[in-house]
Copies of this chain bind each other. A is one copy, B any other.
Amino acid sequence: MRVDVVAVGTELLLGQITDTNSGWIGEQLAAHGFDSLLQIKVGDNLGRVESAFRRALADADAVIVCGGLGPTHDDLTRDAIALVMGVELETHDDIADRIREMFAARNRPMSDNNLRQAQVPAGASVIVQTRGTAPGLICPVMIDGVEKILYAVPGVPHEMKEMVERAILPDLHQRSGEVAVIASRTLRTWGDSESGLNETLDPIIAELDQVGNPTLAFLASGWEGLKVRLTAKAPTKEAVTALLDHWSGRVEEIVGQHVFGFDDDTMESVVLEMLRARGLTLGLAESVTGGLVAGRLTAIPGASDVLRGSIVSYASEVKFELLGVTRGPVVSESAAAEMARGARRVLGSDVALALTGVAGPTEQDGMPVGTLCIGLAIGDEVITTTVRMPGQREQMRQMSVITALDFVRRHLRDGV
């Protein structure tokens, strides 16, 4: 069953509010086995809202509309639905009474335009509001002799979500005998390009094209890494999980060394967890990344029991005086090694990671923009490497963060 979405509101088109509703609805629909293939944003204009509804209903079996149910003159969803259904709006006294009561309960005067929210297209049924003042609507519409359904919910996210879960998803299940469960699993990877992974996984992709379930998609997420997402469909939750286990296992067999985590894992959460599991504390010495590595790690609650801190030694003098780096060029593996040793000493950590490099715009110490030198001190052992990062200043810095953390991950994984 295909269920498309229309989000109504000029502020969405102007980017004054980001439409997170339609994506959230699409996620719920997929989890319940419904397809959402087109999602539209349209402004507060009666003609355009009406035609957006007609277009969506032409392709989909059902349409969920969010927004435009408020009390003001530019809330036009009710009127547009009436036009699409070819009916009049009727005032429901029970809704009007409930709205009056809500205002009374808050000791606020009620202006008459609030009663617009008590208007319902003839033949539509009501989703009683439990939070805001606007009820939702379930509207049967005949399109070329076929009955389709248009649902309308408020644009306020918590009001919308409550109605979708309480009323719309159950109604959709009832209308479609749909029993399938859909679930996704995302493999988080770092270390190969999108095209490289795609080519390595070619045989599996070919197999999946044959069986058609699960589907495989790549999501390039910049400095968050490259995601390989499997989405499976089956009659039961258990069957879906079994499918995902089998195929994510197949993918890991081939590109396992690049897989750093699954679903909501991040490189920083994975590295923190590996250190915690080994009872190791971490110290940082950051130059090129200027605190971004520490900033990412400390975004995770509980980071404090692993991370001691970071010495952001941006000025060379700080590298020399505080970290004990030998005076001279500071973009080199030897400087990175000395920074790591210095951070371990100054911060009193078991492990220390140091980053020095050239973010640009201009080269430094004769090293080109994009150069990253990494130093990793584990106990008294120090490992270093030099990598070339792509992109402009900010991209280079962010790429350096995940690249350096991946360097730690691979060394811990290979047994320290």
Point out residues on A near B: beta carbons under 8 Å. Answer: 10-20, 22-27, 30, 36-45, 48, 52, 55, 70-74, 102-103, 105-114, 131, 156, 158, 184, 186, 193-196, 198-199, 205, 217-222, 229, 284, 286, 289-295, 297-299, 301, 303-304, 307-315, 317-318, 321-322, 346-348, 360-361, 388, 390-395, 397
Q: Which chain B residue has the least Cβ–Cβ distance from A311?
A: B311
**Which residues from B are CB-within-8-Å of A397?**
298-299
Q: Classify the interface of chain A: helix, strand, loop or mixed.
A: mixed
Contact status A395-B158, CB under 8 Å:
yes
Q: Taking the nearest CB of chain B, how far is it from the CB of A368, in angstroms?
A: 9
Q: Taking the nearest CB of chain B, how far is it from the CB of A331, in angstroms?
A: 13
Contact status A39-B13, CB under 8 Å:
yes
Copies of chain A in the complex: 2
Q: Taking the nearest CB of chain B, how far is it from the CB of A312, in angstroms?
A: 4
Contact status B291-A310, CB under 8 Å:
yes
Contact status A290-B299, CB under 8 Å:
yes
* A295-B301 contact in complex given A317-B348, A395-B131, C-beta closer than 8 Å: no
Docked CA distance A176–B194 (Å): 38
Docked CA distance A321–B19 (Å): 47
Contact status A297-B307, CB under 8 Å:
no
Q: Which chain B residue has the least Cβ–Cβ distance from A71?
A: B195
Docked CA distance A85–B372 (Å): 45
Docked CA distance A38–B44 (Å): 11
6 extra interface residue pairs, beta carbon distance < 8 Å, beyond A40-B40, A72-B195, A131-B392: A10-B217, A112-B199, A156-B220, A291-B291, A299-B397, A309-B315
Docked CA distance A393–B302 (Å): 12
